[in-house]
Amino acid sequence: MDISLLEFKSDTAYFVREFFRKNGYLEADTPCFSEFIIPESSIEIFRTEQSALQTKQYFLVPSPEVHIKKLLAACERSIFALSHCFRAGENSGRIHSPEFTMLEYYTVGADYKDSIKITEAFFSFLVDSLKDNPLLDKTAANIFTQPFLQLTMDEAFTRYAGFPLTKAQSHDALLEQVRKLRLNTTSEVERYSYQDLYELVLVSCVEPQLPKNRIVALTDYPAVSETLSTRKLQNCMPVTERWEIYLNGVELANCYTELTDGSEVNSFFAHETQKRKQNGMQPLNVPADFAQTCAEMPKCSGVALGFERLLMLLSGQTSIGRFI
């Protein structure tokens, strides 16, 4: 690694800690190994080899979430962590790596909309703190100090796909829109699930047209997939209290108003475990008490941000590999 990039990474990590400590967050140093993993059908996990002396199966964590939520339930304080994370299904590339650093911060008493303001303030603090660093890209510095462009997913579909999601809540209605857009003209598309059709439009029409050189927050995702986020009705459509931010085609962070209903957490676990089984993915040891842990958490919002992606964008680099 270029020594100047190593210094930039070190300085940025220092200022990350300074921001959250100044704002009353407790830093958590979470383990890289865990006997228990939150099941997610979109993430494959590294499993450790068992020896004759090892009676338990351990996994490399894809996120510190499984550990942080126990701390949240126990101490009811806002918490952040810079953690090494591992995902077996991600090959090394421009914005992916099987090992990477995740910044997660959970704010007690906040919801997902509050976390947009917190993240905007955090980015502005980083830019101001790094202003004398020659590796801070001037264009990026200007972008990261501007308020996010916020669009609900319904607004984004209306603007970039030509139809509101509120008018395509059934499988047949959304399939009709996919056909109009000529995203898939084969008969195979009829077998797509609603979630498959939604993601096809999102990836093909919405994401490629998001404004450049502006951080865009897509909010209020349709409740088409199981997540550990709170749900609500918006314009007669079930949505999750969630956002993701994008900059120049890079997904930088993901946020939820965290789910604290134990029965819904158990439903999520059952759904994702079954889906992993159907997809031929390796079985995981699921934390039996996690639903109770979530039920004991205070109201909070959690953000997961790819640290190397942040470094790449702030410094104007083209790959996270320069920082790993």
User: What is residue 29's predicted lDDT score, i.e. its pLDDT?
Assistant: 95
Please tell me the total number of residues recorded for the chain in this structure: 324
Question: Distance between CA 258 and CA 252 in Å, rounded?
Answer: 19
Residue 79 has pLDDT above 70, yes or no: yes
Asked if residue 40 belongs to a domain, the reply is: yes
What is the sign, positive or negative, of the torsion defined by CA atoms of 144, 150, 156, 158? Answer: negative
Asked if residue 224 belongs to a domain, the reply is: no
Asked if residue 194 belongs to a domain, the reply is: yes
Angle at 262 between CA 258 and CA 266, to 5 degrees: 100
Query: In which residue are the tokens 């749900």 written?
Result: 231
Answer yes or no: do 33 and 108 share one domain. Answer: yes
Asked if residue 242 belongs to a domain, the reply is: no
The SS3 call for residue 113 is helix
What are the φ/ψ torsions at residue 222 (nearest 5 degrees)?
-60, 145
Could you read off the pLDDT of 258-291 as tens digits, one per residue? Answer: 999 999 999 999 999 999 999 899 888 888 899 9
- Percent of the chain beyond pLDDT 90? 84
User: What is residue 151's predicted lDDT score, i.e. its pLDDT?
Assistant: 98
Nearest to 152 by CA among 166, 132, 171, 173: 166
Answer yes or no: do 21 and 131 share one domain. Answer: yes
Answer yes or no: do 120 and 20 share one domain. Answer: yes
pLDDT level of residue 1 (50, 70, 90 thresholds):
low
The one-character DSSP state at 205 is I
117 with 185: CB under 8 angstroms?
no
The SS3 call for residue 150 is strand
State the alpha helices, DSSP H only, in 130-165: 138-144, 153-160
267: Cα separation from own chain's centroid: 20
| Least confident piece of the model among 80-84, 105-109, 222-226 | 222-226
Answer yes or no: do 130 and 257 share one domain. Answer: yes
Residue 165 has pLDDT above 90, yes or no: yes
207: Cα separation from own chain's centroid: 16
User: Residue range 27-40: average pLDDT?
Assistant: 92
Q: What is the domain count for the chain?
A: 2
Asked if residue 87 belongs to a domain, the reply is: yes
* Better pLDDT: 48 or 153: 153
Residue 121 has pLDDT above 80, yes or no: yes
What average pLDDT does the structure give for the chain?
94
The one-character DSSP state at 204 is I
Give the DSSP letter string of 277-308. HHTTPPP----TTHHHHHHHSPSEEEEEEEHH
**Residues paired with residue 302 on neighbouring β-strands, in sequence order:** 106, 256
State the alpha helices, DSSP H only, in the chain: 3-22, 65-75, 112-129, 138-144, 153-160, 171-181, 194-201, 262-278, 290-296, 307-315
pLDDT level of residue 238 (50, 70, 90 thresholds):
very high
- Identify the domain containing residue 197 by its residue range: 149-211
User: Residue range 237-255: average pLDDT?
Assistant: 97
Rounded (10°) angle between helices 171-181 and 194-201: 30
Asked if residue 288 belongs to a domain, the reply is: yes
pLDDT level of residue 60 (50, 70, 90 thresholds):
very high
Answer yes or no: do 264 and 286 share one domain. Answer: yes
User: What is residue 175's predicted lDDT score, i.e. its pLDDT?
Assistant: 95
pLDDT level of residue 22 (50, 70, 90 thresholds):
very high
Answer yes or no: do 12 and 117 share one domain. Answer: yes
Asked if residue 180 belongs to a domain, the reply is: yes
> For residues 287, 289, 291 and 293, what is the CA-based torsion angle, rounded to 10 degrees?
-110
The SS3 call for residue 179 is helix
Answer yes or no: do 275 and 308 share one domain. Answer: yes
Residue 68 has pLDDT above 80, yes or no: yes
Answer yes or no: do 95 and 182 share one domain. Answer: no
Max distance between CA atoms of the chain, in angstroms, equals 60
User: Residue range 174-186: average pLDDT?
Assistant: 91
CATH of the domain at 143: 3.30.930.10
Answer yes or no: do 25 and 63 share one domain. Answer: yes
- Tokens found for residue 284: 């995981």
Residue 54 has pLDDT above 80, yes or no: no
pTM: 0.94
Answer yes or no: do 42 and 144 share one domain. Answer: yes
User: What is residue 233's predicted lDDT score, i.e. its pLDDT?
Assistant: 93
74 with 298: CB under 8 angstroms?
no
Answer yes or no: do 143 and 153 share one domain. Answer: no
Answer yes or no: do 37 and 174 share one domain. Answer: no
Buried b (16+ CB within 10 A) or exposed e, 210-247: beeeebbbbbbbbbbbbbbbbbeebeebebbbbbbbbb
Asked if residue 31 belongs to a domain, the reply is: yes
